[in-house]
Copies of this chain bind each other. A is one copy, B any other.
Amino acid sequence: MTKKNAPTMKDVAREAGVALGTVSKVINGIPVSEEYRSRVLDAIRTLHYEVNTYARGLKTQKTNLIALIIPNTINPFFASFADYIEGALYQRGLKLLLCCADGIPEKEIAYLNLATQNKVDGIVALTYSDVGKYIAKDIPMVVFDRFFDNHIIPRVASDNFAGGCMAVEKLLELGCTHPVYIRFHSVFPGESDKRMDGYLHACKKHGLEPDYLNMEDCPEMLDYMRDFLERHKRADGSLTFDGVFAHTDYHGYHFLRLLRGQGYRVPEDVQIIGFDGIRQFGGEQEDLFVSSICQPVKQLAEKCVEILVAPDRSMVPSLTLLPVSYQYGGTTKREG
Contacts and interface: CB of A to CB of B under 8 A. Distances in A.
Interface of A: 1-4, 6, 48, 50-55, 57-58, 60-63, 65, 68, 72-76, 79-80, 82-83, 86-87, 90, 95-100, 107, 113-114, 116-121, 136, 138-139, 249-250, 253, 278, 280-284, 289
Contacts of A139: 2-3
Contacts of A99: 86, 96
State the oligomeric state as a number of copies. Answer: 2
A41 B100 CA distance: 29
B62 A73 contact: no
6 contacts: A2-B63, A4-B61, A50-B117, A90-B107, A95-B97, A96-B97
A53 B1 contact: no
A58 B60 contact: no
Contacts of A54: 53-55, 57-58, 63, 118
A101 to B, nearest CB: 9
B100 A98 contact: no
B83 A73 contact: yes
A120 B96 CA distance: 13
Given A138-B2, A139-B2, A74 B83 contact: yes
Contacts of A136: 3
Nearest to A110: B90
A50 B98 contact: no
Given A3-B118, A117-B6, A281-B250, A73 B82 contact: yes
- Sorted nearest first, the 6 A-B pairs with minimum C-beta distance are A54-B57, A79-B79, A74-B282, A98-B98, A54-B58, A50-B117
A3 B96 contact: no
A138 B282 contact: no
A67 to B, nearest CB: 9
A74 B116 CA distance: 29
Contact of A73 (B79, B117, B280): B79
Contacts of A6: 117-118
A65 B99 CA distance: 12
Nearest to A140: B2
